[in-house]
Amino acid sequence: MSPRETVLRVDWPECRARGLCAELFPEKIQVDEWGYPVVLGPVKASEERAAKDAVDACPRRALHLHTT
Amino acid sequence: MTSSPLLWYLNRGTGVVLLVAFTATVVLGVLATGRSTTPLWPRFVTQGLHRSLAALSVFMLVAHVVSAVVDQYVDIRWWQAVVPFGGTYQPVWLALGAISLDLLAVIVATSLARARVPHRVWFLVHLSAYAAWASAVVHGLFIGTDSDKGWMVSITVGCVVAVGLAVVARIIAVLNGKRVNRKRHDRSGHDGPRRPFGPQSGVEREARHADRTPARAGSTGGAS
Amino acid sequence: MTSPMIHPMIRPPASVDVHSGPLLLSGIDRGPGLAAHRARLGALPEPGIQSLVTLLGDVGVRGRGGAGFPLSRKLQTVMRARGSRATLGGRRPYVVVNAAEGEPASAKDSALLDVAPHLVLDGAVVAARALGAREIHVVSSEDRPWVGAAVHRATNERDDHGIRWVQHEAASRFVSGQSRALIELMAGRPGLPVTSWAPEAVDGHRRRPTLLSNAESFAHLAAVVLWGLDGYAAHGTPEEPGTSLLTLTTPPASDGVFRGVHVVEVEHGDGAATVLDAQALGSPLLVGGFHGSWVHPRDVPALEWSNAVLGEVGARLGAGALLSLSDGSCAVSETARYTSYLAGESAGRCGPCRNGLPAMATEMEGLAFGADTRRRLRELAGLVTGRGACAHPDGTARLVGSLLTTLDDHVEAHLDGACACSGSGRAPRGERPAHTGTQHLAVQR
């Protein structure tokens, strides 16, 4: 049984590489050479505030927070 | 008491501040989708300021409407703040104010409920901010008591120019982006028509449907 | 500066040799008609959902569309999402047969629907009855119009009461056969992949539970029901009972059309020599089509057609498309060609795929021309994997990755100029274009 994890998921067809998510949560979101987000791992409890800010900031609502 | 000059000045004051705040909100909104960003001014600052100024504008708008309705010096009823007809005091210009408020109400509501609203719907509603802003500018220009004063004219002109410049800058950026993208697509070719590999370029897509021989059932197993 | 990249067209074969087999292809000499099918196999049983799930679980039937998902588990998911009989009116499930076969190197689904359509349709009907579905949708590709025609003929012959057959034709694209793309097509939108937050078994056509499986998967479902557990499991191995359809091809000609294609049925555990000739046994073999993996010539003779053995050399059966370089083609040139084709087949909806795949194609072209672009290729493969709405970039990365890993000796030989292809003209030597570091940015506005 896998432990419960909070992860960030990108809705790729919606993403337009605006980059706000990476600005607000650089610890776990970086951008690749084309400007698209690279998610670096699950979100720790201490990081949930920053993760929610990143989700809220996306102008295309392309970033989602899921708890598995 | 409900006809004191204080309410009148409050209404006019909030009107002017509202115009500036609303204009700044629109300008920031127009510039928010630009691709260029510097370390000194990241995207989220533009977005944060846009949202904060929008919230400020909403408060100013409420104060502006309340002070106008409560003040009995002019006859403006509550419902005339949202219904753009049937008013008695300067009905046409008042109506423009009501229209602006109505549009803003929908814009703010969809933005607050953004997670539940499909992006397309949110975007189209948000576009009406231009109409709401223009409506507000004209409303202030004609209903405003201070419209003929020099400082008021300067502020109004300044606001119109600011939004105008922002829109022009955005259009230029979009056209530039399209031109650059087209050049890059030509280079990479992946947006262009697909052509067959090799020297035979005359093979058309339709031709392969022309003669189709049915799958033949072989007799023995084991192919080579 | 590199010349503009032209993405090649690669097209499925217009005709295929279908060979007789032990199960699915056992009655093809009697023709595709319903009467012959029933005469040979009898009336179609109607197992309830629980016994069907148990039966498929005992045999361990896996999907044949490429992912290999256990069919019994998929049925269970649909059943659970469907809910109890009390709410059946609102959440009646759908059954969808995926015969879109977007992979041009695969012809087994179109062949199956041509020579034994009623086995596929029987499987769909059994599933529909067990799930309480009333509509069965069949999706074929406009690339292979004879498939749609064959399905139409077959459904007209049938008399399954309470079942409505609906046919769709997908655009001729590589990604047309992806499950979400099918759901999109059926909803009247462009048949391209979108992000899926829940599987189709839970939230599919019209937001209802949908059993969407490959055509061959439905044929196996019918085979298990018609032959029974013992009859079906008499073939294959104890760990992997049953059979699989394979498509055997060699690289397409310069016009991009596959020719000399064979479709065969093998029992799981059968050795490579049952379907590969001496030439193929000594050449690199691409297992799983354009999203598959290369198998080194030294490993090919010992191959068995089972995921257990294939897994040992880093490959999976996938949709059963095998491409052998027995014609002497160069693995590097061919991989470059397929990568370029796959880049052109991107739906263009996801940034990493839209940018990364053409970049990989450029680097592969460079590799074919003799430039050592391997580090950049590995970097790009890592950048595109898992970052899209579908598995198109992942599959492309897998193809390139397997070339660099499994056939590293072939790549080295190619770069040293010792490759057999240097004289064939497929990869012109001499001119080594300067490798540019700039990336082609293509961002939707």
The reported pLDDT for the residue numbered B2 is 58
Q: How far apart are CA C443 and CA C445, in angstroms?
A: 6
Fold designation for C331-423: de novo design (two linked rop proteins) (1.20.1440)
Structural domain boundaries of chain A? 6-67
CB C261 within 8 A of CB C247: yes
Condensed to tens digits (0 to 9), the pLDDT of residues C55-64 reads: 999 999 999 9
**What's the average model confidence in pLDDT over C9-37?**
94
Indicate which of C3, C5, C9 best probes the interface with B, i.e. most B CBs within 10 Å of its own CB: C9
Chains that touch B (3 or more CB pairs under 8 A): A, C
Residue B26: which domain range?
A: 5-186
Question: CA angle at residue C270 from C264 to C273, to 5 degrees?
Answer: 75
Lowest mean pLDDT among A18-22, A43-47, B217-221, C398-402: B217-221
**What's the average model confidence in pLDDT over C210-216?**
97
Indicate which of B170, B171, B184, B208 best probes the interface with C, i.e. most C CBs within 10 Å of its own CB: B208
Residue written as token pair 């029992």: C267
Sequence-separated (6 or more) residues with CB below 8 Å from residue C388: A12, C193, C350, C352, C353, C394
The packing angle between helices B119-127 and B129-143, to 10°, is 20
Asked whether residue B210 is assigned to any structural domain, the reply reads no
The reported pLDDT for the residue numbered B186 is 53
**SS3 sequence of C257-273:** ECCCEEEEEEECCCEHH
| pTM exceeds 0.90 for this model | no
Q: How far is B181 from chain C (nearest CA, A)?
A: 6
Q: How far is B224 from chain C (nearest CA, A)?
A: 5
If you measure CA to CA, which chain A residue comes closest to B118?
A61
Nearest to B217 among C29, C146, C346 (CB): C29
Tokens of B108: 């703010």
Q: How far is B36 from chain C (nearest CA, A)?
A: 14
- Which one has a higher pLDDT value, C435 or B39? B39
The reported pLDDT for the residue numbered C279 is 94
The reported pLDDT for the residue numbered C431 is 37
If you measure CA to CA, which chain A residue comes closest to B120?
A60
Question: pLDDT at residue C420 above 80?
Answer: no
Q: Do C351 and A35 touch (CB under 8 A)?
A: yes
CB C283 within 8 A of CB C324: yes
Within 13 A of C439's CA, how many CA atoms are on the CB side?
18
Asked whether residue B157 is assigned to any structural domain, the reply reads yes
The reported pLDDT for the residue numbered B51 is 95
Q: How far is B210 from chain C (nearest CA, A)?
A: 10
The reported pLDDT for the residue numbered B85 is 86
The reported pLDDT for the residue numbered B37 is 73
Q: In which band, very low, low, confident or very high, does the pLDDT at C45 lie, cut at 50, 70 and 90?
A: very high
Question: pLDDT at residue C411 above 60?
Answer: yes
Average pLDDT, chain A: 93
Q: Do B189 and C7 touch (CB under 8 A)?
A: yes
If you measure CA to CA, which chain C residue comes closest to B187?
C4
Chain A neighbors of C353, CB-CB under 8 A = 12
Nearest to B76 by CA among B17, B15, B31, B35: B15
Q: Do A19 and B43 touch (CB under 8 A)?
A: yes
Q: Do B223 and C262 touch (CB under 8 A)?
A: yes
Indicate which of C7, C350, C355 best probes the interface with B, i.e. most B CBs within 10 Å of its own CB: C7
Share of chain C above pLDDT 70, in %: 91
Average pLDDT, chain C: 91
Residue written as token pair 């029933």: C38
Q: Which of residues 231-250 of C touch B (CB under 8 A)?
A: 248
Q: In which band, very low, low, confident or very high, does the pLDDT at C436 lie, cut at 50, 70 and 90?
A: very low
The reported pLDDT for the residue numbered A19 is 92
Question: pLDDT at residue C391 above 90?
Answer: yes
Nearest to C342 by CA among B190, B26, B131, B154: B190
**What's the average model confidence in pLDDT over C149-167?**
96
Number of H helices, E strands in chain B: 7, 1
The reported pLDDT for the residue numbered B200 is 29
Sequence-separated (6 or more) residues with CB below 8 Å from residue C34: C118, C154, C157, C158
* CATH architecture group of domain A6-67: 2-Layer Sandwich (3.30)
Chain B neighbors of C116, CB-CB under 8 A = none
The reported pLDDT for the residue numbered C89 is 57
Q: How far apart are CA B179 and CA B176, in angstroms?
A: 5
Residue written as token pair 């087209």: B182
If you measure CA to CA, which chain A residue comes closest to C193?
A13
Condensed to tens digits (0 to 9), the pLDDT of residues C160-179 reads: 999 999 999 999 999 999 99
C443's enclosing H/E stretch is none
Question: pLDDT at residue C335 above 80?
Answer: yes
Indicate which of A21, A34, A60, A61 best probes the interface with C, i.e. most C CBs within 10 Å of its own CB: A34
**For chain B, what is the domain count?**
1
Nearest to B37 among A19, A57, A59 (CB): A19
Asked whether residue B170 is assigned to any structural domain, the reply reads yes
Q: In which band, very low, low, confident or very high, does the pLDDT at C434 lie, cut at 50, 70 and 90?
A: very low
The reported pLDDT for the residue numbered B212 is 38
Chain B neighbors of C256, CB-CB under 8 A = 196-198, 203
**What's the average model confidence in pLDDT over C72-78?**
96
A41 vs A6, A25, A51, CA distance in Å? 9, 12, 12
Structural domain boundaries of chain C? 20-231, 331-423
Q: In which band, very low, low, confident or very high, does the pLDDT at C3 lie, cut at 50, 70 and 90?
A: very low
Whether B40 contacts chain A with CB within 8 A: no
Q: Do C195 and A38 touch (CB under 8 A)?
A: no
CB C35 within 8 A of CB C391: no
Q: How far apart are CA C15 and CA C36, in angstroms?
A: 24
Taking only the tens of pLDDT, chain B with its 224 residues reads 456 788 888 888 999 999 999 999 999 999 988 766 777 888 999 999 999 999 999 999 999 999 999 888 888 888 888 998 888 888 899 999 999 999 999 999 999 999 899 999 999 999 999 999 999 999 999 887 777 788 888 999 999 999 999 999 999 988 887 777 666 555 443 333 333 332 222 333 233 333 333 333 333 333 33
Condensed to tens digits (0 to 9), the pLDDT of residues C244-299 reads: 999 999 999 989 999 999 999 999 999 999 999 999 999 999 999 999 999 999 99
The reported pLDDT for the residue numbered B8 is 85
| C20-231 CATH choice from 3.20.20.70, 3.40.50.2000, 3.40.50.11540, 3.40.190.10 | 3.40.50.11540
Residue written as token pair 């896998």: A2
